[in-house]
Structure formats: structure tokens, C-alpha cells
Chain A
Amino acid sequence: MTHLDTELQYLKKDIMELWKITQSQLERGKKALINFDRDLARQIIATEKRVNAYELKIDRDCENIFALFNPVAIDLRFVLAVLKINSNLERIGDIAEGVARFVVDVDKQFSAELLEKTHVIQMFDLSIDILSDTAVAFEKEDTQLARTIFMKDEKLDEINSTASYKIADYIKAHPDQLRESLHVLSMIRKLERVGDQSKNIAEEIIFYLEAKVLKHLSAKQKQE
């Protein structure tokens, strides 16, 4: 194994670790919401600092690899992809933190009916699932799996597009839960962004492994 290979392996290990933390942030966010566990929500907010520290470390490591090893071909694409995936994962970390702040902000539990009618828990499950797929696709270098992410994201978009009507109806029926309802709407908006970030990540995985640029293509074209 060459010196560069060793450095690339360290980089892969670090980005996989960041993936694990951000996924766990989302999972804990879901738990905090369902159980109205404000302590857990505070832990998520605190862990965000760790996510940021990882992002900075990976940025610095990529910079060093560019400067010291001048990677080319698949090595170059790998480092470029990691650099971008890193910033996508950090944003997902921000999203998890944002969701946690909504949980901390209210003083009574979100009603089960609100969570069910708005499909916010389903949004959580889908976004965690999509993010997990990106991690597996990257680790196992599986571009087929990466391509499935573009379709999965559409489900998130679907829930998101009907969310405001559902929330409006819910508020009409439960005006006393105005604040909680608006928070849930904001959570849905944020979780929809996890899908977008995951799509970006999938594009980077395909760029790294197949040298194909999928940006600005339709979901159908991306799957071909």
C-alpha cells in the first residue's frame, strides 16, 4: 500500500465516522421528538460541535492531500468527492440540530395525532434510510445503490409538498397547538433538505466511481 493509499484510507475512515455521527443525530432527533425527550435534544445540540470539528478536520486533511500528494484520476475524484460529501454531511448535522432545537423550544409534548397526520415520523425514517444508503453506497463503492437514492428522495418531496395543507387543517382543528404545529412544519421542511443533501452525496459517489457528472439532470436521467 502506498503512502497516498494510507492517507486516503484514513480520510475514508474519518468521513465514515462523520456519516455515523450525523445518522445517529437524526435517529436521536426522531426519538427526542416522539418521546418529548428534551435532555436528548440538548445532547444532540451539544454533539453538533463534534460534527463541526469533524468537518474542519476532513477539510484540512483534503487540503493536505491535494497539497502534498497531487492526487490524479480516481484518487483525485475521491478527494474531491469527500470534500463535498463532508460539507453535505455537516449540513445534515445542522438539520438534526435544528430539529432538536424545536423540541427544546416547546414545553408540552407534541401530540401523537399531529405527528401521525403530518407524516413527520415517516419523514424521519425516510431521511435516515436514504442517508444510510448513501453511507453503504460509498463504503461498498456501490453506484447502483447510489442511483436508488434519487427516486427515494421523491417520496420526501411528496410528503413535504402536502405538509402545509395538512398543518393548516390541523391548526384549524387544534388552535391551542399552533406553536407545535408550526414547529412540525419547520421540521418537515428541514428533513426534506436531508433528501437533497443525500442526493448531492449520491451524485458525488457516482462522480468518484464512474467519473460521470449527474448534476442538473432529471431523476430519471440520473438513474440511467
Chain B
Amino acid sequence: MYKIRTTDVNVFYGDNHVIKNVSMEVMPNTVTALIGPSGCGKSTFLRLLNRMNDYIDGFSMTGNIFVDNNEIYSRKTVVEELRKKVGMVFQKPNPFPKSIYENVVYGLRIQGIKNKALLDETVERCLVQAALWNEVKDDLKKSALALSGGQQQRLCIARTLAVEPTVILMDEPASALDPISTSKIEELIYELKNKYTIIIVTHNMQQAGRVSDRTAFFYMGDLVEYDETKKIFTNPKLERTQNYITGRFG
């Protein structure tokens, strides 16, 4: 059973055709990397999965996107509910100017949850899962803005986990981080796939290799090749993919 399935998805920004007939399936508890040059449509495709493109001027789409077999662009879909289920981590860490604790429970607070024991338990669970607990457990009241970039990004992941999503979308989550923080985020992604389905956009080919089970190569809005990461990085079917991953593109 697929966690996510898209069929013949096309996206337009005005007259600009940015995603062309993309059909792909994502299995649960896997990491899928979306790679391709700038402007190839990979971030647009990622943002489709929790309807982040809806408010962009001129956005329109055709085709279907199913998460757990529910068509997320149907009228019945409550976008807020979808975004609880499909969380997102952005390129630059974007903690709120609040304490570490308040950042993690933010999603629960806006759902009206006030039970202190539940909030405390969530903070610990999510910070542990985000591999940040040991570094901040004695300082939960400290401002999130005082954390390092890598810690802030892990905090943002903890904040995403707090609302108990089943899918996590990551848009270049480590591109603004130093190599040690990057490696922590990558290890975290590897751990998190036991519980979540993860889709990650990355410009870093080595990162795609290290963290993902399957890789999708996008080029000019086309899904050129989608296969096991091992296959893509050792023997891709298409020359275009090979030229891109070996850096001979263009």
C-alpha cells in the first residue's frame, strides 16, 4: 500500500508549465530524495504534497495526489488536517522567538491542548526523536533563537513531530548547516524513517545517496528517472540521469 501516490500531475504558474505529467508512488517508512538542477520543479512537487502552493499567484494543477488513499486536492480535504499529517521542514531553520519548550508545543497549543503532563511528555519525546534532548533538557526555557543553526533545525524537526505527522517533507533541510550539523540531520532522517515517511529535496547528491531509499531525478518539470537510490547512483537507466549525478550536466 502506497503512502503517497501521484497520477499525471501537472502544475502551472500562469502560463509556465512547471510540473509535467508526474506519476510516482512512495512506500511508507521510506526516505525519497528529489534531486535535479535549480528550477526543475522538485520543490514545487514537494510543496504540492501538503498544499503549500495553493496561495501562490497563478498556481493551478491537474492530476491527482493521494496520501493514504485520500485525494488531498478534493474539496473534502481540510488543509489544516492535511498539514498535521504531512509536516514540513524548511531550508533555513525558522524557530519562533519563543522558548525551546514553547516551540515544540506550539502546534499542540493552537489545537487547544493545555494538559501540562501531555505537553511535557510531547516535548521530551519529540526532542529525543530529533536527537536534541540531551543538549537542551536542562535549558528548555531558553530562547530557541539562542541555539546554533543545527540545533535550531533539529528543534524545527521536533516541532514538526509534535503534531504527530506520518509524512515529513524536507526542503533542503541541511543546506544552511555546517558539516557536523548536516551529518546529525542526516542521521536523524535515517532514524526517523522507522516511524515516518520522508521526502527530501536536496541539491547535495551525496546527501541523497546517504539518506534515501529511492531517488527521483527531475529535469525541467519532468520526472526523468525514479528508482532505488542504489540503482540511480550505480547504474542509472538514462544517460541524462548519469550526466547529472556525475556532474557532467549542461
Contacts and interface: CB of A to CB of B under 8 A. Distances in A.
Contacts of A69: 206, 209-210
Contact of A2 (B183, B209, B230, B234): B183
A4 interface: yes
23 contacts: A2-B183, A2-B187, A3-B186, A3-B187, A3-B190, A3-B210, A3-B211, A4-B210, A64-B230, A64-B233, A64-B234, A67-B209, A67-B230, A67-B234, A68-B209, A68-B210, A68-B229, A68-B230, A68-B233, A69-B209, A69-B210, A70-B206, A70-B209
A4 to B, nearest CB: 7
Nearest to B205: A70
Interface in B193-250: 206, 209-211, 229-230, 233-234
Contacts, number: 26
B117 to A, nearest CB: 33
A70 B233 CA distance: 11
A144 B211 CA distance: 37
A164 B229 CA distance: 54
A8 to B, nearest CB: 13
Contacts of A2: 183, 187
Interface residues of B, number: 12
B213 to A, nearest CB: 11
Interface of A: 2-4, 63-64, 67-70
Contacts of A3: 186-187, 190, 210-211
A68 B206 CA distance: 6
A3 B209 CA distance: 11
Contacts of B211: 3
Contacts of B186: 3
Given A2-B183, A2-B187, A3-B186, A63 B210 contact: no
A4 B230 CA distance: 14
Contacts of B230: 64, 67-68
Q: What are the 6 A-B residue pairs with the smallest beta carbon separation, nearest first? A: A68-B209, A67-B233, A3-B190, A67-B234, A64-B230, A70-B206
Contacts of A4: 210
Q: Which of A4, A64, A68, A69 has the most CB of B within 10 A?
A: A68
A3 B185 CA distance: 12
A79 B184 CA distance: 23
A47 B233 CA distance: 32
Nearest to A2: B187
A69 B186 CA distance: 12
Nearest to B229: A68
